[in-house]
Amino acid sequence: MSNRSLICGLAAPLMLAVSTAAALPGSGNFQVVQKANLNFTRDAAAIHFSDLARFNVTLNSTYAAAAVGVAARQSGGTPAIPLLWESEYVCPVTIGGQTVLLDFDTGSSDLWVISTLTGIEAVGHKVYDPKSSTSSKLLPGATWEITYADGSGSGGVVYKDHVAIGTSVAIDQAVEAALYVSPEFATNPFSSGLLGLAFSTLNTVSPVPQLTYFENVLPTLEKPLFTADLKHGRPGTYNFGYIDHTAYTGAIAWTPVTKPYDTGTTLLYLPPLITEAYYSKVIGAFFDPSYAAWLFPCTSPLPDFVFGIEGYRGVIPGEYMIFEPLGDDLCYGGIQVNTGLPFSIFGDILLKAQFVVFDHQGPRLGFANKL
């Protein structure tokens, strides 16, 4: 699920009443704090290969052999690296008075939820029941179907309903009720669906694409933006409508966005020379052909990684470069080679290291170093 990455949850008690005064600047501004799924597990090697598949990379023989090994380990049912290292984060979202936990995703634009209309895949999940919501209205003839970069997906029909997050409310929000979901969603009872935060040009509702939650509450926000202050290994925060100037240091560096927001991959993929230059500073680091990945002893000190956007210098703290402990005191590196790609990719690791502003005016992205 490497593309569904910026995910979050409310830690504060949910305030359902529209009249609840927001203590934040601007009438409709609100804050969302992430909540972690402590049972979350992931497989670093599988994420690596799913990222490469997403960009249709032709694997050289070293990578191809490692991919076969990773796939065999997975299909053999051997839990590869089931460590509680990084977590999954979700948000309570109230739909027609019913609260479910959803993943927030800046790479897509559908708000969909497992529902009473979903088949056997719904078992174990908290579901949305449009029939017991007094505010739900079926959107006649509307359907949706989404496939994420990792191959997971879902589809179904569409309702309009009241949706509330924190102190904010959208009274005519398109709620995409799932008729079916792929196994990735069926087997994760922690989450009931996704809430997309990218531009509605990516929304999959047919025949008429629908606005995202963010776009619906936009008129109530002081500024047309939200910020992500994500953390490595612990819950982070989203702020909607304002920039908390105490959350970062120095100036915000802005870069224009030409495509819908796509937060991309989990790892950082960089050219071989840069990757090798970084790991040459890490004692004991090596490229392991059996993973087709850079590994290093978990106890090795890790230098910070500094990247540039024009004059801006963004810092990724060295500790963020431990992507996953593999056992035997070896760690899977957060920077890997951009093999087969004509460009570099700044994944989640960079987003977690930076204070990031998603500004619909422009549109543009802002980066700042954290305190």
Ligand X SMILES: *[C@@H]1O[C@H](CO)[C@@H](O)[C@H](O)[C@H]1NC(C)=O
Which residues contribute to the site for ligand X (CB under 6 A)? 37-39, 55-56, 60-63, 190, 272, 287, 337, 339
| Residue 105 annotated among the catalytic residues of the structure | yes
Hey, what are 316's tokens? 């990724």
Q: List, in sequence order, every residue forming a beta bridge with 165; answer none if it has no partner.
A: 168
For 209, residues 6+ apart whose C-beta sits below 8 A from its C-beta are 109, 200, 201, 203
Nearest CB to ligand X, comparing residues 191 and 227? 191
Nearer to ligand X, 273 or 371 (CB): 273
Q: Per-residue b/e over 16-35, b at no fewer than 16 CB within 10 Å?
A: eeeeeebebeeebbbbbbbb
Cβ proximity to ligand X: between 23 and 38 the closer is 38
d(CA 11, CA 92): 9
Asked if 4 and 108 count as a contact pair (C-beta separation under 8 A), the reply is: yes
Whose Cβ is closer to ligand X: residue 40's or residue 254's? 40
Round to whole Å and give the CA distance between 46 and 135.
Answer: 42
3-class secondary-structure state, position 341: coil
Supply the Cα-derived Rg of the chain in whole angstroms.
21
| Own/partner pairs, 69-76, CB within 8 angstroms, 24+ separation | 69/290, 70/43, 70/45, 70/46, 70/291, 74/43, 74/46
Phi, psi of 184 (to 5 degrees): -55, -40
Alpha-helical runs (H) found in 76-209: 183-186
CA dist 5 and 120 (Å) reads 26
Q: Which of 103, 105, 110, 288 is catalytic?
A: 105
Least distance to ligand X, CB of residue 297, Å: 20
d(CA 305, CA 148): 30
Nearest distance in Å: CB 316, ligand X = 21
Which is nearer to ligand X, 63 or 279 (by Cβ)? Answer: 63
Min CB(336)–ligand X separation in Å: 9
CB of 293 to ligand X, least distance (A): 9
Name the token pair of 112. 């969909």
CB of 37 to ligand X, least distance (A): 6
- The minimum distance between CB 9 and ligand X, in angstroms, equals 11
Residues annotated as catalytic are: 105, 262
